[in-house]
Structure 1
Amino acid sequence: MRKQHEWYDEHDAERWVAEPVKRPGRTAFARDRARVLHSAALRRLAAKTQVVTAGSDDFVRNRLTHSLEVAQIGRELALTLGCDPDIVDAACLSHDLGHPPFGHNGERALDQVAAEIGGFEGNAQTLRLLTRLESKTFDADGRSVGLNLSRATLDAATKYPWPRRAGERKFGVYDDDLAVFEWLRQGVGERRCLEAQVMDFADDVAYSVHDVEDGIVAHHIDLAAVGADRAQYWEIVRRLYLPEATDAELDDGWRRLTELPYWPSAAFDDSRRALGGLKDLTSQLIGRFCTAAEQATHAVFGRSRLIRYEADLVVPDGIGVEIGLLKGVGMFHVLNSPERQARRASQRELLTELVEALWKSAPVHLDAAFKADFTEATDDRARLRVIVDQVASLTDPSAQAWHAQLIN
C-alpha cells in the first residue's frame, strides 16, 4: 500500500513561492503542519475568547485549546478516511487563526467598522494571515507570502471558498487576497475539498460537545432542564443551526441522546465522579459522531483514496440533528444571560473605539510590521485594512490594554 502522502501530486504540494526541499524524507504537508504549529498567530489564540471570555475561568476552553481539540478529532477522522492527516491537522489548527479579540462578538464589531472596505470575516482573515501577515517566506519582490503553505493545505483551511457577496454573511477571501485565492482554487469552483469538510465537521463536533461540557461545569447548563422546557432551546437550535428541523425531529434527536448509556443520570455536583462521567460523555459523543460519518462516507465512496475532490464527507441526518441540538444547548446560556449581553456590547464598543483611535494616530502606535504596511498603503481603503489587521491580531487582554492606553 502506498503511503498516504503519495496519493497527492505535485500540484497539491506546490507552494505560492517555490522553496528548496531541506529534508527530503519529510512531506510538504508535515512541513505545513509544523509551520502552523509554531506560528505566533496560533500562540495568540490562548488569550482569545472561545465562548467564555479568555482568562475568566481556569477550566473552560479558549481558542487555542479548542483548536488543538479540533485538530485531534480531525486528524483521527482523516486517518480513517484516507486523507493525509498532516493536511487536515494543519487546517484544523488554522481554522480559527483569523478570529479577533472577543471571538465572534469581536468579528461583528470589526465587520461594521470595515463595512466600506469589504467587511471583516474570521475565515477570510485566516487566509490573509496564512498567505500575507504571518512572517515566514517572501517573494522575489520582498513581499510577505505568509507561511507559504502548500496548495492542498491552504485549500483544506478554506471553509467558505468564495469572496464576499450580497445575502451571505460568511466568505473566505477579501478582494486584496484574490490572487493567491485563485491560485489555490484553480479549476474547482466553490466545492470544498474533502479535507476542508473534515476540518469543518471536526470543528462542529468539538464545539458541540465541549461547549456543553464547559457550560455544565460552570453550572450554566442543566441537562434535565433542557428536557423539561424544550421549546426555548429548540427556538435557538432552529435560529442558529437547523432552520428546517421540525419539533418531531428535534425531540427524536434529544431522545436518542438522553437514552445513550453514558448520558448523565444525575445533576452535576462538582465531584470527581461527576467530572469523570462528564469527560466520558464528551469522548463517547465524539466517537459516536465521527464513527457515523466515517461509516457513511465509506458506504458511499468505498474504502480507498478518499482525498481532495474524489469524495465528500457524508454525515447522517440524525447525527447532524444531534450535533445541532448540542450546539444550541451550549449557546442558549450565552444568548440568554443579561450579564454576558452587557459584556458583549462593551467589547464591541471597545474594538470600535480602538480602531478609531488607531486611525487618528496612525501609524504612530502600530506594531512595526503593520506600521510598514500602513506606510506602503496607496489609499485610505488599504490603510484602514491595515488598522483592522492590527486590531484583529490582538488578544483579548492586549486589546483592553491598548484601549486603556490610547483612550482612557
Structure 2
Amino acid sequence: MAIDSGRPRAIYAADPGASRGRLVAEPASPTRNDFRRDCDRIIHSAAFRRLAYKTQVFIFHEGDHYRTRLTHTLEVAQIARSLARALGCDEDLAEVLALSHDLGHTPFGHAGERALDRILRHAGGFDHNAQALRIVTDLERRYADFDGLNLTWETLEGLVKHNGALMTRDGAPTARYAAHGVPKPILAYNRRHDLELWSQASAEAQIAAVADDIAYNAHDIDDGLRADLFTLGDLSSVPFLGGIVREIEDRYRSLEPARRVHEVTRRVITRMIEDVIAESERRIAALKPQSVADIRNAPGAVVGFSAAMAAVDEAIKGFLYPRMYRHNRVMRVMTNAESVVADLFMHFSASPDDLSDEWRDGFDALDLTGRERRVADYIAGMTDRYALAEHARFFKSTPELR
C-alpha cells in the first residue's frame, strides 16, 4: 500500500477557503491559508514552547532521550500529516490539531492534572482538554486586538471534540462526561461561540486523535524499554508485538539491542498507520460522505482502527499500564509530583503576592472561585523544572522526583 503519495483533496475534507472564520474578524493573510496560519500561531505560542519541559511519563531530568510533551506532540503531528495526506484530508488542519492537543497539560503530566482536579472538584475540576481551549481562547495574551490566539472555528471545534462529541443533541453529556459533566470552561466558551458539541468532529480532528494513540503506544514501548521497566522478551507475550519481535529476531539474528527496539517501534507505527488508512477508507466508502457536514453528522467516527487493531491497542495499553504507568518507580515519582502541585496551590492561594506580576494583577477583585482558577492557571502553565524551583523557594523540603 503506497501511503505517502497522497491523493487529491477529498470531497469530505475541511476546506480553509470555506472556514467558518474566527471569533474576531481579521484580514486574510496574503501568503497562508487560515489553517496554516493557525499552525503557525500554535508553534509561536508560549504554551507550545513550555511543552519542552513538561512530563510525558518520565520527569525531564531522568534522561535526555525520553519523550517530553513537546517531542510527543511533534511525533503526533508527523503521523497526523501522513494520515491526512493518505486520506485526502487537509494536512494543515490535522497538523494544528495535533500540535495543540496537549497544550493544556500541567507540569508532571497526568499527576499534576490529578492534583488540580482533586483540589478544584468543588468548582468544576480541572480537565487538560478544557485548559487547552482556555489557553488558545484567553490565556495566551500576545496580540493587540484580542485575547488568546483567535483560531478558526474548525481548529477550536477539533481541539474540543477530537475524542468525539461531548453531549447529545438534547444537551445531555456523553458517556465520557457522564460522571462529572462537560467541563465548565468548555460550556462557558460554547455559549459565546457555538462549537456544536453534539456532533462528530471533522475527519482531520479524528485523524489527530488516532495519531495520538499510535504515537504514544510506540514511544511508550520505546521509553519503557530504555528505562528497563520491561524487556523485548516481555513483549513476546503481547499479541501483535510478539509477532513483530519474533520477525525481527528471525531476520536480524545478530542485531544489537538498540536497533531491535527501533525496529519494533517503527513497525508498530507503520502497521497501525496502514490499518487506520484501510479501515477509514472502508468506513468512508460505506458512509459515502459528500461534504464535511456529512462527517460531522455521521453516527460515529469515520477514522479509526479496525476491530482487530483496536484489540491490539487495548492489549498494548493493558501491558503498559501495570509495567510502566503503574510501575513502582513511576508511581513514586508521580505521587511526589502531586504533592508538589498541591503545595504550590496551597501557597499561592494563601499568598497571592508571590504570584508573578501578570497573574497578580486584578487578583483581589476576583471571587473565591475566580481566585482558585487563577492560581490553577498559573500552576498549570509551569514546566516541571519551574514548578520544582518555585516549590524549593517556598518550602523547606522539595522531593527530588527520582
Query: Which position in structure 2 is the counterpart of 1:294?
Result: 277
Query: Which position in structure 1 is the counterpart of 2:322?
Result: 332
Q: Are the aligned partners of 1:123 and 1:173 in contact in 2 as well (CA < 8 Å)?
A: no
The CA distance in 2 between the partners of 1:272 and 1:41, in whole Å, is 41
Q: Are the aligned partners of 2:16 and 2:35 in contact in 1 as well (CA < 8 Å)?
A: no
> How many aligned residue pairs are there?
374
Whether 1:16 and 2:23 are equivalent positions in the alignment is: yes
The CA distance in 2 between the partners of 1:85 and 1:369, in whole Å, is 36
Q: Are the aligned partners of 1:124 and 1:172 in contact in 2 as well (CA < 8 Å)?
A: no
Whether 1:275 and 2:258 are equivalent positions in the alignment is: yes
The CA distance in 1 between the partners of 2:81 and 2:180, in whole Å, is 25
User: Root-mean-square deviation (CA), in Å?
Assistant: 3.1
Q: Are the aligned partners of 2:348 and 2:355 in contact in 1 as well (CA < 8 Å)?
A: yes
Q: Are the aligned partners of 1:7 and 1:305 in contact in 2 as well (CA < 8 Å)?
A: no
1:36-78, CA deviations, whole angstroms, 9 ceiling, x for partnerless residues? 1111111111111101112211211011100000010011101
The CA distance in 1 between the partners of 2:273 and 2:244, in whole Å, is 16
Task: Out of 154-163 and 213-222, give the one that drifted further.
Answer: 154-163
Query: Which position in structure 2 is the counterpart of 1:392?
Result: 380
Q: Are the aligned partners of 2:53 and 2:385 in contact in 1 as well (CA < 8 Å)?
A: yes
TM-score (norm 2): 0.83
The CA distance in 2 between the partners of 1:373 and 1:165, in whole Å, is 34
What is the letter of the counterpart of residue 203 of structure 1? D
Query: Which position in structure 2 is the counterpart of 1:241?
Result: none
Task: Out of 381-390 and 194-203, give the one that drifted further.
Answer: 194-203
3-state SS, counterpart of residue 275 of structure 1? helix
Query: Which position in structure 2 is the counterpart of 1:210?
Result: 219
Query: Which position in structure 2 is the counterpart of 1:236?
Result: none
Shift of 1:227: 4.6
Structure 2: gaps (5+ residues): 1-6, 397-402
Shift of 1:324: 2.1
The CA distance in 1 between the partners of 2:86 and 2:290, in whole Å, is 11
The CA distance in 2 between the partners of 1:227 and 1:201, in whole Å, is 24
Query: Which position in structure 2 is the counterpart of 1:153?
Result: 155
Query: Which position in structure 2 is the counterpart of 1:259?
Result: 243
Pair 298,168 (structure 1): closer, same or farther in 2 beyond 3 Å? closer
Percentage identity across aligned positions?
Answer: 32
TM-score (norm 1): 0.82
Pair 59,376 (structure 1): closer, same or farther in 2 beyond 3 Å? same
Shift of 1:223: 3.4
Q: Are the aligned partners of 2:203 and 2:303 in contact in 1 as well (CA < 8 Å)?
A: yes
Task: Out of 38-47 and 157-166, give the one that drifted further.
Answer: 157-166
Q: Are the aligned partners of 1:82 and 1:307 in contact in 2 as well (CA < 8 Å)?
A: no
3-state SS, counterpart of residue 361 of structure 2? helix
Query: Which position in structure 2 is the counterpart of 1:401?
Result: 389
Equivalent residue in structure 1 for 2:123, among 109, 117, 132: 117
Query: Which position in structure 1 is the counterpart of 2:399?
Result: none
3-state SS, counterpart of residue 64 of structure 1? helix
